[in-house]
Structure 1
Amino acid sequence: MLVKLSKKHTKYRSVIVVSSVKKVVFISSIILNVLFIGVFAFYATSSSAMKNPLSSKHSSKQSYSDNPYYIERTTLFKQLSIPKESIVFLGDSITQRSEWSELFHNKQIVNRGVADDTTEGVLHRLKSITDAKPKKIFLMIGINDLNEKKSVRQTKANYAEILERIHKESPDTKVYIQSVLPVNNKKCGDAVDNKDVIALNNYLERLAKKHNDSYIDLYSKVSKNNQLKSNFTVDGLHLKGQGYAIWKQEVQSYVNE
């Protein structure tokens, strides 16, 4: 049996449908706006971090033991071994980002760089390296100590302890202290002052002489007006291929000797 709705009922039903549609549209609009704001905020934060690799870590108090990069990388190293007579490149992300064995066409070279690492972090993982009794260690560390505003006195003390332990735990290993590289402040902000980098490098040069280690000045080779050359970097901290080519050129003879 068909029931014919009156015009009044039909009109009332139409009002309900229209009201429901408006409500759905309104709620959908709110959801889309929230999603848009979230995506925009994520992109802005990510973009800022990419452009300024030091700003996100500025004055950070995060310990190496809480750092995901450090944990991931060091747990990987536990699954690997350092071959006898190997050459170890030890440092932070600037070291980690190079393909050293391919760059030098030398399979004896092992990369032990860890992103965000500091002198304290190197001390904590040093035994796994000295236990292998490598032939050589090329060390570059310290830029993250400066960025995180670590005590200069403590940073120097840590560096001195690193060298003392290497010579004690692996006395036949030759150590090459590579200067800390400058940053390009126009690209990465003012978290690090290159005057502090120079001061640290002066200390490292004296420390190398004290331990009869080789000091390799890379700072002057990649800098102009005490800034990391802009054509060597994208973010003001890490190196492009041209920068690693200069690095290779400066340490080639030490790798080969």
Structure 2
Amino acid sequence: MTHKRSIAALFIGIAMLALIVSFSHTPLRKAWWGYLNNYASEYYVQQMMAFNARRDLNLPDNAVLFYGDSLVQSLAVQAAAQRAVNYGIGQAGTRDVARQLKDHLNIGKAAAVVIAVGVNDVIRGNAHHVLPAYQSALMSIPESVPVVISNILPVEEALLHQTNLNNAIQQLNQQLQKLCSTRARLTCLDAGQSLKDSEGNLASQYHTGDGLHLNAQGNAIWLSQLETSIAKVSSSREQDKNDIRDKQSL
């Protein structure tokens, strides 16, 4: 009996050693941590979407709604619009934002909607998700509500250890610009032009050091341009409301 236990213990020890050795193999380790990271990210996004759906039920009239990823989530949106609600979710992609907009019931009460998302799709190799997801998202926003699409901001490719990201971003932004030109209620903001360096990367003085997230200086530039775009579309909507009231009083 003791002999059998010793053999079993030996096999268990060999199996554990093999497992440890296998995890020292870089591709397997990367695959495992990649799986855990994706699972944790998806869980976090789902939890935040549920949280934001509850907030939507308490939405005040004439608020400016911000949808996007961590770039939006960390943004002090009240600097761009006094009555603003931040629905940004870190790790979110364009499909996540489209699902959020579909689930939110009070978007028609908004003064405007701002959407800024897509860089996570590009980094993950899912650039093909972006345009269809934007088109789906817009279908959930009533025609009476103006929309500001803030184009995908550039990144510093060397820090993200990837190439051709900014080329993909530029191509997607051209598609978004074309989409905006098809509808009068859509406005495209290309703040990235003010944030990139001579090589088309996100300039080092505007990000936190990770090549992706904006620092205080970068956010200040983005917020200033958002404020201008929001003020423009909000005044246009207010004028449309006045015109409707004038016609109804005739």
Aligned partners of 1:149 and 1:104: how far apart in 2? 31
Match of 1:155, as an amino acid? V
Match of 2:120 in 1: 144
Match of 1:115, as an amino acid? G
Match of 1:223 in 2: 196
Aligned partners of 1:111 and 1:61: how far apart in 2? 24
Aligned partners of 1:191 and 1:129: how far apart in 2? 36
Match of 2:211 in 1: 236
Identity %: 22
Say whether 1:248 aligns with 2:220.
Answer: no
Alpha-carbon shift at residue 111 of structure 1 (Å): 0.4
Q: 1:89 touches 1:95 (CA, 8 Å); kept in 2?
A: yes
Q: What are the equivalent positions in structure 2 for 1:87-236 lying under 5 Å apart?
A: 87-101=64-78, 103-104=79-80, 106=82, 108-129=83-104, 131-133=106-108, 134-150=110-126, 152=128, 154-166=129-141, 170-190=142-162, 193-212=165-184, 213-224=186-197, 225-233=199-207, 234-236=209-211
Paired residues, number? 195
Q: 2:102 touches 2:137 (CA, 8 Å); kept in 1?
A: no
Larger Rg: 1
Q: Deviations over 1:120-159 (max 9, x none)?
A: 111111134453311101111111111111252x432121
Q: Unmatched 5+ residue regions in structure 1?
A: 1-40, 42-55
Match of 2:60 in 1: 83
Q: Unmatched 5+ residue regions in structure 2?
A: 1-23, 25-32, 233-250
Q: Deviations over 1:106-128 (max 9, x none)?
A: 1x101010111111111111134
Question: Which is worse superposed, 122-131 or 208-217?
Answer: 122-131
Alpha-carbon shift at residue 79 of structure 1 (Å): 3.2
CA RMSD of aligned residues (A): 2.6
Change in CA separation of 1:202 and 1:60 when aligned onto 2, cut-off 3 Å:
farther
Alpha-carbon shift at residue 63 of structure 1 (Å): 7.9
Match of 2:62, as an amino acid? E
Aligned partners of 2:97 and 2:70: how far apart in 1? 12
Aligned partners of 1:137 and 1:178: how far apart in 2? 11
Compute the TM-score of the two structures, normalised by the length of structure 2: 0.71
Aligned partners of 1:105 and 1:177: how far apart in 2? 15
Match of 1:46 in 2: none
